[in-house]
Structure 1
Amino acid sequence: MDGLYFQLGWQHIINWDAYDHILFIIALCAMYLLRDWKKVLILVTAFTIGHSITLALSVLNVIRVPGDLIEWLIPVTICITAATNIIRKDSEPKKLQLNYFYALFFGLIHGLGFSNYLKSMLGAQSNVVGPLLGFNLGLECGQIVIVMIILLISGVFVNLSGVKRRDWNLCVSSGAFGIALVMVIEGARAMFLN
């Protein structure tokens, strides 16, 4: 594993400039608490599988998708995930739910977003396996840190402050939806009006 690319992956996901990816993770985990860590582990693994596939395929030039389209689709994934959380009737996530599918499928889209950044770092480098693995592991570690922070904050509000779990989910998901909707509108303007 290449330590430089691990660090680049780590920094990319925790960098506030990549807040769209952080916002997706927030929307994905909004309904969970720390006691749901096993469910969240499956969720994070599904997201990792999705973004690992397209990250590798894109870096190896097997697939090519315009960057503007991907940058527009990423906030669309946030809106869909957050909207699903908002319309949910139950406050506790069940064993198998739509969010696992979202994590895997939308991970494919997010992987394409990560790939644009990684490709610019790799340049004309011929051996991409080590850098790709290092970058992906760095992304994953950063993502786990973000998930743990989200779960801890959720625990404080739900378990210590007495906020109802459903209310917490509505608040977090509505905030994520609103921010992402602005990004969707701005992205559409940039793509279609320029």
Structure 2
Amino acid sequence: MPNIPQRFILITLIALIALGLPFETLAHGVDESTRAFLLQNTGVQIIPFLYIGAKHMVTGYDHLLFLVGVLFFLYRSRDVLLYVSMFTLGHSITLLFGVMSDIEVNAYLIDAIIGLSVVYKGFDNLGGFQRLLGKSPNAKLAVLIFGLFHGFGLATKLQEFQVPDDGLIANLIAFNVGVELGQFTALAFILLMINIWRKHSSFTRFATNANCLLMSAGFMLIGFQLTGYFIS
């Protein structure tokens, strides 16, 4: 039964990320213990904010789905580093700038755009833009722009809890570093799965299926967030 390993990887890579996480992780959700900490925190709290940042990235499957799409057809380590750096730059800019400047954006609309980023990347990986427009958009620029929206999504959620100004800069930096540590952990797992998968002859067929699932997950996220926007 040669297809079992590939099917297992597909299920692990997509279904576990998209379906196996707690419901409160939707829309950058914050669990009750984290919510209580953010509301009660005062002063510089480096380690707790490192932990919260890492936890957010590891359980934030909208981020992970987008990163799966970004990394899917990257074979060289320097390309992986470049694209992840572009995403990190965008994510960091809007996270820090959004909170420090108190820029408020509707969380549902931002998270709908994050869902759109997942759809975009899956469609691009399937060659949709190449067939539709004759060329694909600038991939690096797209990752940077969507990284900006991903960062705004988290900044918006943090603003809802009115994190105290005391120690805010240090805590935000610690949080952002935690996000990147969580991202590194998630990427190690994602790359391991994809690299194992690439060794099998059915990679192309399963890559098509996986990116179709990415698009489906993205559309579900968009629908969920727009529904929340209109009924809230």
- Report the TM range for the smaller structure's normalisation: 0.7 to 0.9
Match of 2:210 among 165, 172, 175: 172
The structure 1 segments of at least 4 consecutive aligned residues displaced by more than 4 Å after TM superposition are: none
1:38 to partner: Cα distance? 1.0
Q: What is residue 6 of structure 2 aligned with on the other side?
A: none
Q: What is residue 143 of structure 1 aligned with on the other side?
A: 183
Decide whether the 8 Å contact of 1:81 with 1:99 is kept in 2: no
Equivalent position SS for 2:126: helix
1:61 to partner: Cα distance? 2.6
Decide whether the 8 Å contact of 2:49 with 2:172 is kept in 1: yes
1:57 to partner: Cα distance? 1.2
Matched, 1:83 2:123: yes
TM-score scaled by length of structure 2 = 0.71
Which residue identity lines up with residue 91 of structure 2 in the other structure? H
1:76 to partner: Cα distance? 0.8
- Distance, in Å, in 1 between the alignment partners of 2:201 and 2:84 is 27
Instruction: Summarize deviations over 1:71-104 as a string: whole Å, max 9, x none.
Output: 21110111111111111699xxxxxx73321221
Give structure 1 stretches of 5+ with no counterpart: 91-96
1:124 to partner: Cα distance? 2.1
- Distance, in Å, in 1 between the alignment partners of 2:206 and 2:140 is 20
Write the mapping of 1:1-194 to structure 2, written as runs, cut at 5 A.
Answer: 2-15=46-59, 18-33=60-75, 36-87=76-127, 98-120=138-160, 123-159=163-199, 161-164=200-203, 166-194=204-232
**RMSD of the TM alignment (CA)?**
2.4
- Distance, in Å, in 2 between the alignment partners of 1:4 and 1:185 is 33
- Percent identity over paired residues: 24
- Distance, in Å, in 1 between the alignment partners of 2:96 and 2:217 is 29
Asked which structure has the greater RCO (Cα within 8 Å, sep 6+), the reply is 1
- Distance, in Å, in 1 between the alignment partners of 2:124 and 2:96 is 29
Q: How many residue pairs were aligned?
A: 183
TM-score scaled by length of structure 1 = 0.84
Equivalent position SS for 1:78: helix
- Distance, in Å, in 2 between the alignment partners of 1:141 and 1:79 is 25
- Distance, in Å, in 2 between the alignment partners of 1:55 and 1:116 is 8
